[in-house]
Each structure stands twice: as C-alpha cells, then as structure tokens.
Chains A and B, each alone.
Chain A
Amino acid sequence: MQRVCHRDPMLKKRDDFEDILEERRNSSDLRYALRCYTPVLYKEVTPCDSSMLKGMVLQSDQLHFVINQVSKETGRAADDLKDEASAILDEMAQCLQLSTVRFFAFVLSKVFKTLFRSIRVNEEGIQRLQQAIHEHPVVLLPSHRSYMDFLLMSYLLYTYDLALPVIAAGMDFMGMKFVGEMLRMSGAFFIRRSFGGDKVYWAVFSEYVRTMLKTGFAPVEFFLEGTRSRTSKSLTPKLGLLNIVMDPFLKGEVFDMNLVPVSISYERILEESLYARELLGVPKPKESTSGLFKARKVLSEDYGSIHVYFGQPVSIRSLAQGKVNRCQFNLEPRHIPRRSSEEIQSFVNDSAYRLVRAQEENMVLKPWVLLASLLLQNHHHQDHQRVAGAQRGRITLEDLTAQALWLRDLSREYGAFLHWPDHTPPSEVVSSSLSLHQGLVRICEGRVQLAVEQAEAEAGGIKEPQISVTPEEALLSQAVVILSCVSYRNQALHVFLRPALLASAIHTASSNCKQEVFNSFSFLRNMFSNEFILCPGDTVQDFEEACYLLMKTGALQVTQQEVVVTTSGQRTVAFLTNMLDPFLQGYQVVCRFLCEEASDNLTEKQFVPAVRKFIITLLLAGRLRYTEVLSSDLQKNALAALLRLGAVQKVKGVEQGTLKVNKVMVNSLEDTLGGKLPTQKAVAARL
C-alpha cells in the first residue's frame, strides 16, 4: 500500500471523475439492466453458490469446536445447537441473484436520475479495484452517510462490470418485510446489532464472512463506521468485522487481502433534517417499508451530485509488515477461537483508523461546505456581540464570497479535496451553492444568514401566528437548521482538525513554550479522540503535521522552544480556534452538568435527556453560545471520553449502567478545557 504521506498535502495526487448518469440519460435503462454481465473474479476463486457456502460454514472446524464447547458448558445437545446455527445462518445469509440486481439497476437508474444531477466516479479507482479483485480477496470499505450508500455501491459495481459485493447490513433492515428480502437477494447479509456473549452466533457469523472471503466468493463490503454518521463527521471505527476479515490473513489462510476504502460524498444528504431531528432527540423512525414510501417526497427535490472515490487498495500484508508477528498462531489449532493478543488488537485498531482517514481524505468537498463553516462562525460571532435584531448573523454576499475565496485557498493548502469550479466567477459559485441549500440559508437584500428565523416561524405555524411558541420549541427548530449546517461544516473538519487542535492548544496554553503547547495539544487530542478520527499513538506525528501546515501558510513560527502566531496568521488561527470552539464549549458544559446537576443515580440511559435539558436552559438563558451543543452525538462522545479517562465510571447501582462521577477530576478537566488550569495539572488529576 502507499503509506499516506502527510508531509505536503498539496502534492496529493487524485484521479479525475466521470459522470455515470450521463450515459443513463442517453440510453435505455432497460437495456442497461439486461446487459451482459461478466465480471473479473478472484484468480483463485473456489466456484460455489450461496447454498454451498452455507454448507461450508456449517461443516467448518471452528463452528464444530464452538458447538461442542457450548454444548459442554450448557448441557444442550450438540444437534440442537447445530440446528440453531443453521437457523442463524438462514437468517443471516445473503442469496445474491443477478436478476434482483438487474431489477435494482433499472429502478435505481430512474431514481438516481431524478434525485441527482450527476454521480461521479473515479474510473482509475475502478481499474485498480478490478485488478485488486483479480489478485486477492477484496474488502470494500465505503464511508457511511446515507441509506443510499450500499445500493449505490452495488449499482456502481454492476455498472462497471465488477464482481458484486456481499454487504454486511444491520438487522433493522430485515424488519422491512419485502425490502429486506430484496436486499438479501442483492447481496446483503444481516447481522444482529448486538449478540453479547452468544458464542454460536459469533462463530456462525465470523465463519460465514471468512468463508466468503477465503473462497473469493465475492468482495465483502461493510461500513467501518458501523452506522451512518448523522453528523457527517467520520465515526470512530468499529473493529468487530475488521477483526474477522483480517483473521484469514493473520493465520495464513490467504496470502493477502486488499482493503479498498471508498469515499462517498453527497452534495446534499437525503436524510439531512432527519439526522438533525434525531440528534436533537426526536427518536429515529423505525425502518419500515411504508416509511420508505413516505420518503417519496424527497424525490421531488434536487440533491446535487454524488462523488464516489475508490481509494488505493491497501494490502493487509503490507499493513501488517513489521507490526504483527504471525508466529503467535503456530502453537494452537487455528480453528479454536481465542482472544486477540494486544499486538493484534492495536494493529487492527491502528489499521482501522488509517482506513477511515483514507476515506476522509478522498471525500469531495463542495463550496457549500466552506460557506456553511463561514456562515456558522459568523452567526455565532455576531450573535455573541448582540448585534441588533435584524442585522443578527447577516453578512453581505460580497463579504461572504471574499471570505470563501480565502478559505478555499487555505483549505487547498491543507490538502482538501475541494471541488471548486475555478472557471466560474466566484460570486456565481457562491450563489448557486446557496440556492441548492435554500432550506438552510436566507438571502435578503444582498445579505446572507442562516434560516433560523424562518425556522422559528415555521415552528410557530404560519397559519396561526397568534399562538405563541414556547421558547424551547423555537430553540429546537432553530437547532434543526443549525445542526444541518453543522453537518456540512463537519465534512471539512478533517482538513482543519490538526491545525485547529494546535490553534486551540496555543490559545489555552499559558505560554508560547513549545513543550507546553504540545502538552496542551496532546491533552485536547486525547480529550477529543472519541469525537474525531485521531489515530491512537500518533500524537507527535499529528503535532508535527499541524505545525508544518500552519508554518507553511505563514500563520506560525516554530522554533526549538517556542510556537508563535504571526500577525498575518491571526485570521487563520482565529478561524481554526472558532471551528473547534463549539466542541470545547460542549465538553465543558457536559462536565459542568456532571458536576453540578447530575443526580447520584443517573444512568447512562438518562444521561442524554438530562444533559439536553440542562443545555436548553443554558441556551435560553443566553449563557451558552453554541446551539450545536444540543447534538446528542457530541454529548455521547464527551461522556465516552470521560469514561475512557476514568473521570466517570459505569457501576452497577440501583440500575444497570449507573454513572459514578469523580467530581474533582471532571471539574479539573473542565477547567483545563477552558484554559483555566495548565495541562500538567490535568494530567496529574488524572493520575
């Protein structure tokens, strides 16, 4: 694999895109759906069909071992357990059928053409993928922002005559009667979201995935992030499936495997406001067929374009080179499941982070992402200064365009994969971006602002303006707009993350001393490692990268001892600090809540509603600037960080999962985040 080099992101070479919808608009969808399909297969493929696969799994040594073990432990008859295993497999297994795929190819062609202006794919990536599929078993790792993702993936692979993948899907899809079966026939296999200590389930599941890989049956596709990211930030990777797919390589059952990160970027996400509501506590609608049809409304809107970037295939063998001693599997039969060694755990974890970063890096950013970042900062900044009502959060189109150009150049310096149409006048780029997201922005007399007031009005009901809305309701409807914007800003976060952490570190550190700044950086990085994709153990590397980027743009001077912001760099550093500020504030608020408000027997379940209530109060009282802190994602991440740091513990209280808060420690973490305590003290507090 090519080790991603972070030294100079400007030099990153990326492929060009081709629009696949163009051909769809000019030729018959039916003929397309029925065309000859002869994909390149793995060169050492063991020819088999879905039912043979099942047989191989049920006869595997691993499953036999686990069944006998469970039988001994529980006293249940082995035959009984075998039947159970067989039933699990029936519930799980895909039964990929070309006819179903052809049906989807037809329907999706119609749908995609209605929804999207274009679907752009890097064809060089497709060629690399074809080669990769031929050479070794392949694991496809797309980013996950929408339900659309896996249908889109299969659609693309069909379009390019590539082997259709089998896809790990959450069990919740199975609830959608007819659709579930359709998905199964297009290659989805279903996994329960949690199966705790069910050894038989785990054995069947892992063996099933491994068998499909080893035989070269089909590329295996799953989402490293585990679930759709509601915030458009990449989620910290889930390791279960990655562990399973790496196993055959580590145990020498295949020579190598190719992991292919795929970055799918949506100009406008279908689930945009749905996600925002969900983050604000309106529960997620259960997946149901009728619900899907209700979503028909979305068909009438313009969702811009999709960019799909098939990344460089990553060879597991090269990933493991020098990191894993495979001899550790020599002394036990390989079919006996055993706990991964620490070496392997950290290898898998590290690899997962690298892969998610590879996804992030090839996400295409649209100009709107930069506009959303600017508009949000502007909104909060002016809000904070209590500008008179009508002027609140407004910025002239000219100013916005100028700022956007500045940010465009900055983000390019930082290596962003920005699709800014350079041959179009900037003002046009800005206005067309704004018009695609007219639900979120309002342009009035040449001034732009977030459409929060509009939202307030809608919440009140336009027909009955006299019925006053409770302040809370108004706040929540504003928050929907803000969180939607935030989700676009978040798309660019990975570009600015490291410099932003450094900028905040400089801001919170009590001096310019490099070591102190580093300590502060390291503290923030550690604090936010549930929030952002930060490879564990890469602190020094990240710090150096951040310094390099800020120095390159002239915003920073770094000497042996000192880190100093230049005069010309003030603007950049301010922008970066502002970008991270909502998170800093949010984490502090969560800490304050835990110290001041949390009852002794607060459970994990009650945490989000309680903290939300606390935050609403603060927001309404004007004591908190950022509405986005209402995002349950942020709140959960903050709690996870505190749990990880040991400032909060989960104990068995009256109820399962009662939170025990170490108030001294939480308090000192809050102070450190706010820059009131030097980093060293916080470290000491942790010890």
Chain B
Amino acid sequence: MASNSSGSSSDRQRIAQQRLRIIAGHLQRPEDGDSAVLSAECKGQVSKTDEEKTVPKRRQEIMKWNGWGYSDTKFLFNKKGQAEFTGKRYRLSGMIIPGLKDWMEGTFGANLQHKSPATPVLTSSAVQPPTINEAFVEEVKSTGIPFSHDAEDRVFRAHGHCLHEVFALREGKIGRVPDMVIWPNCHNDVVKIVELACKHNVCLMPFGGGTSVSSALECPPEETRSIVSLDTSQMNRILWIDEKNLTAHVEAGIVGQDLERLLNESGYCTGHEPDSMEFSSLGGWVATRASGMKKNIYGNIEDLVIHIKMVTPQGVIEKSCQGPRMSTGPDIHHFILGSEGTLGVVTEVTMKIRPMPEYQKYGSVVFPNFEQGVACLREVAKQRCAPASIRLMDNEQFKFGHALKPQVSSIFTSFLDGLKKLYITKFKGFDQDRLCVATLLFEGNREKVLQHEKQVYDIAAKFGGLAAGEDNGQRGYMLTFVIAYLRDLGMDYYVIGESFETSVPWDRVLDICRNVKARITRECKDRGVQFPPLSTCRVTQTYDAGACVYFYFAFNYRGLSEPVHVYEQVEHAAREEILANGGSLSHHHGVGKLRKEWMRDTVSSVGMGMLKSVKDYVDPQNIFGNRNLL
C-alpha cells in the first residue's frame, strides 16, 4: 500500500509528478486505437494484454482449485516445524512465523502429527458430464464468444468460499457444476448471450470473482436445464475517466486490485477496498451490496455508484443521465444492488473516483478491555471523526494477531516489544487476557491526517486507550488478506472455520458480541466438539447508528464424524443468536442460498412479495436461476 513520505517538499514533488502522469495519460489515450471507440465496441481478443490483468480465463493457472487465492501462496509448517508463508506476493511472504504453531496447538488443541490433507488433484471423472443444450451452443459458436465445457473450468465456477464448499473440494467431492462456461468480452456480448439463453431456455449464473461466502454460486441441484456460468472476468477495462466530475466508467468484471492499480496509474482511486478486493469484481460488489474497509471516507458501494448498466431477460436497465441524485420514484439502482445475480448481469458501472490520498498513516490503540474499546468507537462515531478505517479486535483476535508476528529481524526489536508489553501489562495494569486493540488507518492531506490522528487518540485516551504504534496497525490490516490463506492451513490439521458478519445498533454491540461468542461455544460443546472452539469477533465498521461486527469461528474437528454438518449447525445457531440480539441478516456478505430461510422474517412478507414481483416481471423464465435471495 502506498505509504507516507516524509517532509513536505518531497510531498509537493510527488504531487507534481502525479499531475504529470495524469496529464500524460490524457494525452496518450487517443493514441491507443483500441480505446477510442471503447464504449461501443468489444476489444479484439488478440490485442488483449494479459500480463496487466490478474485474472486469466483459465483461473486454475494462477489460483488454487480447492482453497483460497494464488497457487504459489500458502502457509505450511516447514521441516523444523515452524510456520512459513510461501510466495512473494505479500509482505508476510517468505517469512517464518514462529508463534503460529504454539497458537494453533494452544487454541485448538491441534497437533502437527495429525494431518488431514486435501485431495491433491481434481479428477475429471468426479465431475458429471455436462448437460448440453446443443442449439444454444451452436448459436453461441456463431457469435464467436469464447466458451468451454472443460471439467476444471466448470468446477472452478461451481463454488464460492463457504467452508462446506471448500471442504468438499478438498475431499474431491464435486456436486452439480455448471455445464458450460462462457466469457463475454463486453456489454454487447452479454446482451447476445442473454438473448440466446432466453431463446433456448438455458439457466445463466453470473460469475465475477468467485469469492462468495453465501452459497450463491452453488448450482441448484434441482435445476434440470443446462447451466451456463457467465464469467465476467474478461470484461475488465476502464472505459473512460471523467476528471471534471471525478467518475470512471468501468466494465463490471474488473477485480478490485486491477481497478485500483489502473486508476492509481492515473492518480485516482475508488477507495473501495473490501477484504476480498484482490479477487472480487465490481459487478459482484454491486450484486451483493459490498462494503469496503475505507467506507468512512469513500462510502459503501451504493454510495459509490453513479450509473449501472444491467442486462436482463427483459432488456437493458439503466438510468438516462448521471445526475448525482434523483427524485424519480424508488431508485432503480436499488433493485440491482444486492440482486445477487437473480435479475441479470451487471455489465458496466460508472463510479465515483477520488484523487489518490496524499498521505496514509496506520495506527493502533490498546484498550484495557473490549467494553472500553466499543465505548471509544461509539464516541468516535458520535463525533463523526472516524478515520478511513477503524477496527476493534477482541482479546482472542489480539492474541491471534500476535501469533502471526513474523520472526523479528533484530534482538533490539524483540527487546522493544518486550518493553512495550511490560509497560502495558505491568505499568498500566492491563490484563493480558482482557485487553484488546483497535487498528486505525488515516488518509488524506498530511496536516489533516495528523490533526485527525490527534483527535482520535484523544478520544481513545478518555476510554483508557493507549497508542500502540503504527506497526500493530499495519499488521492488523495485512492480516485481513492472509487470514483466508490461514484457513487452508487449519484444514490441513483438522481445524475448520469461517467468518460471518452482521450490523447492529450501537447499544447492542457488546451484548451481541458476548452472546454470539457464548452461543458458539455452547453449541460446539452440545454437539460433541472435543476441543474448545475459537470464537472471536471484531467491530469492523462504524456508522452513525450502529456498527458492523465480524465473527470468526473455528474448531478442531478430530473425533467428529460429520464435521461440516456440525459446523453448519453451529453457524446456523450463531445466526439465530445474531437475529435474536437485534443484528441484521447480513452487512455485506449477502444472502445467497445460505441465509435465504431468514429473508421473509428480515424483510416482511410484503417485502418478499415486492422482490418476487420484480423478479417475476424481469425474469419470468427464471433464466437467472441461481435461486439466491428469494
């Protein structure tokens, strides 16, 4: 992540350079023949420069087929029994993590001797042969849009990253998968595909980044038609940037990291950074109402979109202008936002962009206990001075974060760490088993950042918070990206787990955290889990009227015959507990099929009826038949 530079002179220099880059970009653009008429035409397949983009059509070339993320990146225990993070992509890559083994053994009762390895390769025979709609395939062929019936391609698009999905893959169990994958290159391709799908009664399931954790990508087993996975990954261009209005028009298949990188090249950013941004796509964000870590400055996806184009069986839905706000009846964007692929495919989005922040600074605060931490976050929200990101981890997560500290390079650093710990626990009297930490990220103009920082630390001090340094903060955010890899490591050693989230009014935050954690622990015990589970939470977003809470839950399943079933029962109970404590069904993960059963209670029967009638009008044939949401 771009970091702070010291001294105002170099700042000025940097800004000047940035401007230059932007202008240069301006000048260059017309020369790029391909983009001159971009919005109307599809790019030719040959001219596509693949090395710039993260996601190839054959995802398996760079990503794991049965776990999270890049193939070259994973946690493992080396011969010495030390945890190591492989690859070169992350700050933690190539490092030894000495504390992880003890933490895993201590927290889960896991043991390096007890391995539960995954099936190494996908055997094509485990995949059912595709149900092919010949007429549809013939017509698709004539359009020249690339498609595939390859087993690997199909399996890759048959799942998201729910525990049960990944667990099944690791065991080599493959259920219903799409019968065909198709890669449109532009909006018009999508229009053609949807028309053909309607004509031949084919089921379409849009696929963006594949990071769903709501069973949204699971093929409905009862679906008898040919299922076509519509992979938007090749629709990944920024079509234009409008610097006067600070907007960018982007194809919806672009993944977060590409979008940010490309905009950064022009000196801009969207500031939308969901934890999955390496792999999740713009279209997916729109379809699930995504939320980014820095929403305090930039807003959530619904605040960021100006214009959306979606292809439905009834045709294309879009607004006629780009006015920043309209009073024209219910906002049609809100039929699209969160529609989870049930109504159509989002193809192009106009988004707000911002100049890249001049200055970024991480920070962290240690609180004597979680209660004080929550009180502080509430006050920060009340004063509306939340930094770009502010997150509060509970004690268990704090310890977890500590376990993930890479080997320190010098004795001096470890000596300093020792001193800090001594100061906090002995001098300040914090209880090691109660204290918790908030991580902060400030962004903007340097002077304002420093001012802002002071304001936040002053509030924190009122709640007994002690500043605990930039390092802790930065590490906290880095963990966001590596934690998903960690689940794969756990699964190698009989540990399964997952995260889930909710949003809840301020006055219930503490209650919901305590009760959900306690419920998880009790349910695990009742269901015969032999080891105490990890049941932990953090407050990840603040709002005027409430907060977003994120739970992690994992346990050692040795001795259980049906670990996934137990896992699902516990998660189900935890969700019931969330709802009983005034939490929402989801803050940003969406409903998918995993949480459908609670939709009616969540939005009322009338609400369900409204949603249904929209679906019935837009897609009477149920072409977009992933059966999410309703």
Question: How does the 8 Å CB contact mask read for B293-307 relative to A, with 1 for contact and 0 for none?
Answer: 000000000000000
Taken residue by residue from 512 to 543, chain B's Cβ proximity to chain A (1 for < 8 Å, 0 otherwise) reads as 10110011000000000000000000000000
- Let me know if A334 is at the binding interface, CB within 8 A: yes
Q: Which residues of A contact B579 (CB under 8 A)?
A: 327
Per DSSP, chain B at the interface is helix
Q: Does A147 have its Cβ within 8 Å of any Cβ on chain B?
A: no
**Chain A residues, Cβ within 8 Å of B511:** 252-253
> Is A330 positioned at the interface, with any CB of B under 8 Å from its CB?
yes
Q: In the bound complex, how far is the Cα of B577 from the Cα of A325, in angstroms?
A: 11
Inter-chain contacts of A255 with B (CB < 8 A): 514-515, 518-519
Q: Which residues of A contact B519 (CB under 8 A)?
A: 255
Q: A255-B515, A255-B518 are in contact. Are A326 and B580 (CB under 8 A)?
A: yes
- Cα–Cα, bound, A255→B573 (Å): 14
Once the chains bind, are B518 and A327 in contact (CB under 8 Å)?
Answer: no
**Binary CB contact string for chain B from 563 to 603 against chain A (1 if under 8 A, 0 otherwise):** 00000000000000001111000000000000000000100
Query: CB of A197 within 8 A of chain B?
Result: no
CA A252 – CA B514 in complex, angstroms? 9
Q: Which residues of A contact B601 (CB under 8 A)?
A: 327
Nearest chain A CB to B141 CB, angstrom units: 52
A330 to chain B, nearest CB (A): 4
Contacts of B508 in A (CB 8 A): 252, 334
On whether the beta carbons of B581 and A326 are closer than 8 Å, the reply is yes
Q: In the complex, are the beta carbons of A334 and B507 less than 8 A apart?
A: yes
Query: Is A329 in contact with B507, judged by CB distance below 8 angstroms?
Result: no
Contact with B along A635-663 (1 / 0, CB 8 A): 00000000000000000000000000000
Q: A252-B508, A334-B507 are in contact. Are A329 and B582 (CB under 8 A)?
A: yes
Q: Which residues of A sit under 8 angstroms from B581, Cβ to Cβ?
A: 252, 326
**Considering the complex, which residues of chain A in the window 292-339 have a beta carbon less than 8 Å from any beta carbon of chain B?**
325-327, 329-330, 333-334
Closest to B584 in A: A330
- Per the 8 Å Cβ criterion, residues 102-142 of B in contact with A are none
Q: Which residue of A is nearest B504, CB measured?
A: A330
Query: Is A252 in contact with B512, judged by CB distance below 8 angstroms?
Result: yes
A383 to chain B, nearest CB (A): 58
Residues of A246-267 contacting chain B, CB below 8 A: 252-253, 255-256
Q: Whole-angstrom distance between the alpha carbons of A253 and B581 in the complex?
A: 9
Whether the Cβ atoms of B582 and A252 lie closer than 8 Å is yes
User: Cβ of B515: which chain A residues have Cβ within 8 Å of it?
Assistant: 252, 255
In the bound complex, what is the Cα–Cα distance between A325 and B580 (angstroms)?
A: 7
Assembled-state Cα–Cα distance A329/B579 (Å): 11
Count of B residues near A, CB < 8 Å?
13
CB-based contact B514/A330 at 8 Å: no
Q: How far is the CA of A252 from the CA of B508 in the complex (A)?
A: 8
A542-569 Cβ-contact flags toward B at 8 Å (1 or 0)? 0000000000000000000000000000
Cβ distance B261 to chain A, nearest Cβ, rounded Å:
42
Considering residues A252, A327, A333, which has the most beta carbons from chain B within 10 angstroms of its beta carbon?
A: A252
**Chain B stretch 334-354: residues in CB contact (< 8 A) with chain A:** none
Closest-CB distance, B299 to chain A (whole angstroms): 26
Tell me whether A327 and B507 are in contact in the complex, defined as CB-CB below 8 angstroms, given that A252-B515, A255-B514, A255-B518 are known contacts: no
Give chain A nearest CB distance to B4 CB in angstroms. Answer: 41
| CB–CB A330/B582 < 8 A | yes
Shortest Cβ distance from A325 into B: residue: B580
Chain B residues lying within 8 Å of A330, measured Cβ to Cβ, are 582
Task: Name A256's closest neighbour in chain B (CB-CB).
Answer: B518
Distance from B373 Cβ to chain A, minimum over Cβ atoms (Å): 16
Shortest beta-carbon distance from B551 to chain A in Å = 15
| Bound: A255/B518 CA distance, A | 7
When A252-B508, A334-B507 are in contact, do A327 and B514 touch as well, CB less than 8 Å?
no
Please name all residues of chain B whose beta carbon is closer than 8 Å to the beta carbon of A252 when the two chains form the complex.
Answer: 508, 511-512, 515, 580-582
Q: Tell me, in angstroms, the Cα distance from A405 to B553 when the chains sit together.
A: 60
Q: Which residues of A from 323 to 359 have beta carbons under 8 Å from B?
A: 325-327, 329-330, 333-334
Taken together as a complex, chains A and B put the C-alpha atoms of A330 and B507 apart, in Å, by: 11
Assembly CA distance A589 to B511 (angstroms): 55
Q: Tell me the minimal C-beta distance from B600 to chain A in angstroms.
A: 12
> How far apart sit A412 and B508, CA to CA, in the bound complex (Å)?
50
Measured CB to CB, the nearest residue on chain B to A250 is B580
Which of B507, B515, B601 has the most A CB atoms < 10 Å from its CB? B515
In the complex, chain B residues whose CB is within 8 Å of the CB of A326? 580-581
Determine the distance from Cα of A334 to Cα of B510 in the docked complex, in whole angstroms.
14
- Residue in A closest to B579 when the chains form the complex, CB atoms: A327
B601: nearest residue on chain A (CB-CB)? A327
- CB-CB under 8 A from A256, the residues of chain B are 518
Would you give the shortest CB distance from B375 to chain A, in whole angstroms? 14
Q: Which residues of A contact B507 (CB under 8 A)?
A: 333-334
Q: Measured between C-beta atoms, what is the minimum distance from A196 to chain B in Å?
A: 31
Residue of A nearest to B510 (CB): A253
Residues of B within 8 A of A334 (CB): 507-508
Residues of A within 8 A of B582 (CB): 252, 327, 329-330
A638 to chain B, nearest CB (A): 42
Least distance between B306 CB and chain A CB atoms (Å) = 33
Cβ distance B595 to chain A, nearest Cβ, rounded Å = 15
CA distance A329 to B512 in the complex (A): 13
Nearest B-chain residue to A324, judged by Cβ: B580
CB distance from A202 to the nearest CB of B (A): 22
11 contacting pairs across A/B (C-beta < 8 A): A252-B511, A252-B580, A252-B581, A253-B511, A255-B514, A255-B519, A325-B580, A326-B580, A327-B582, A329-B582, A330-B582
Give chain B's interface residues, CB within 8 Å of chain A. Answer: 507-508, 511-512, 514-515, 518-519, 579-582, 601
Q: Which A positions have Cβ atoms within 8 angstroms of B?
A: 252-253, 255-256, 325-327, 329-330, 333-334
10 closest A-B pairs (Cβ-Cβ)? Answer: A326-B580, A255-B518, A252-B581, A330-B582, A252-B511, A255-B515, A252-B515, A253-B511, A327-B579, A327-B580
